[in-house]
Structure 1
């Protein structure tokens, strides 16, 4: 997160969180987010610039993208309870909730361009729907999984792209549709990478520990009854969480040996190919922004074998 976006976020905080404690709390949340290597604001910028846009409102929109993602990150951590050291998890819960409400107020207050609030609301609703399916264990098949991550992650990348092209008048509907589809592909590829890493973690954020049904887990569960029955036993409740933790190294080793990571790479490659095909449908775009956009949405993903 660069200084221009931080400055815009500080302005929003000062406008919508005038209480000193709440203001300081929000600033600490933003500082935590700023320490991450994310490209959400850059997605918005690149989309706008490569289409030839020069709106003076672009940096505000880029900051709004970051604020929306921060808000959803906080809610996600409050639901999963797997990031105990983050500032929104260590301060008083009531203050965190007020901070979330203040962020909602700032988002609403900055949706002053006609139609933008409706579009943001629709994309957020899709992402929340995907998150609801995730936390209520509604994913039981690969079809369920891809539907869920298309909503949960794809809608957020679509939002980042929309925040860039929404500042342009008269954008071609075919170009808009292509950008939206490309963004969803990018969200799916990114989520698969995250899920592949998360079955290899040796900490509390391991997805196996939380009995999630992500793509690599679904792959493992197809053969685990014969190859590693302990995984079935844990998911069926025969083994306790304490027993899982005692044997977590074994579970992670099975994940490494099962072929689930290689399978994730194959599926990623299919969506990367689709994203490349969609990118090639776009008309000539402004450089260097088009190149940067492609690096973000059609990168050379490599699922890492070591947990980060």
Structure 2
């Protein structure tokens, strides 16, 4: 995350959060996020500039994207009870809830200010709410677990949960951009869903190869590689289906660590996921070629969002 984005985020907190202890807590959350390789603000700025935008407020818009994504990340961690090393997981939960509310109010207040400078972007507030609501729908289905029984279910949930975050960053970049018309937005939305799917598959492949508390298998999640393994485990690793059906405890399943990791490596689930990922990469390239864009911003957008998946296609 660029230093100027961090500066804007902290300035926003000073404007909207006057209580010093809460202000300091929120800034510690931002500092933690800033230490990561966060690309959300970059996606917003590159979307804006490749679509012909020259808004003097694009830095503020990019900071708002980072702020909202951080808020959703915090909510996700609180729900999943993982990433326990994060400051928002180490502090009392009631303080984290206040932090979430403060971030949301700051986001809404600042976005309202920016829209005042450009009345034609008033629909931006409603559309932003729709995109975030779509992401929440996907997250809730993911929490319920039973909503994913097939590859089609998985893709649908990932489009909502992960694709919506990319949509958000891109849509925020459309602020006052001359080429951000209805046709461009439709293309960007589908492209965002493709990027979200590729990114989630990548994460799920990594998660299934680890055998600690972050492993999706131990939480009985039904990700794309796990769906494949469940369909091919009979006779090869029956403990997996026994565990998922509730006929084996977590403690018993943990005793099968060597066999589980071997099955993950030999089942073909990783290769299968890479094939599916390559299909969405090809579709992303097709969509991207149809989107108007200025250099070097269009190239920067591609490099930041989905160019790396070409290595796996």
TM-score of Structure 1 vs Structure 2, range by shorter chain: over 0.9
CA distance in structure 2 between the partners assigned to 1:257 and 1:45 by the alignment: 42
1:140 aligns with: 149
CA distance in structure 2 between the partners assigned to 1:29 and 1:260 by the alignment: 36
Pair 1:286-2:294 in alignment = yes
CA distance in structure 2 between the partners assigned to 1:193 and 1:231 by the alignment: 22
CA distance in structure 2 between the partners assigned to 1:303 and 1:54 by the alignment: 33
CA distance in structure 1 between the partners assigned to 2:21 and 2:311 by the alignment: 41
Map Cα deviations across residues 140-174 of structure 1 (whole Å, 9 max, x no partner). 11111000000000011001000001232563321
Gaps of at least 5 residues in structure 2 are 116-121
1:214 aligns with: 223
Pair 1:223-2:232 in alignment = yes
Retained in 2: the 8 A contact 1:197–1:303?
A: no
Map Cα deviations across residues 179-226 of structure 1 (whole Å, 9 max, x no partner). 111111111110110111110112210000000000000000001122
Alignment of 1:42-81 (within 5 A): 42-81=42-81
Q: 1:221 to 1:110 in 2, by over 3 A?
A: same
Alignment of 1:128-277 (within 5 A): 128-137=136-145, 138-169=147-178, 171-277=180-286
1:295 aligns with: 303
Instruction: Say which is worse superposed, 195-204 or 151-160, in terms of deviation.
Output: 195-204
Gaps of at least 5 residues in structure 1 are none
Q: 1:90 to 1:108 in 2, by over 3 A?
A: same
Pair 1:30-2:38 in alignment = no
What SS does the corresponding residue of 1:198 show, helix, strand or coil? Answer: helix
* Matched residues, number: 303
What is the alpha-carbon root mean square deviation over aligned residues? 1.5
Displacement after TM superposition at 1:277 (Å): 0.4
* TM-score, structure 2 as length reference: 0.93
* TM-score, structure 1 as length reference: 0.95
Displacement after TM superposition at 1:104 (Å): 0.7
CA distance in structure 1 between the partners assigned to 2:180 and 2:104 by the alignment: 28
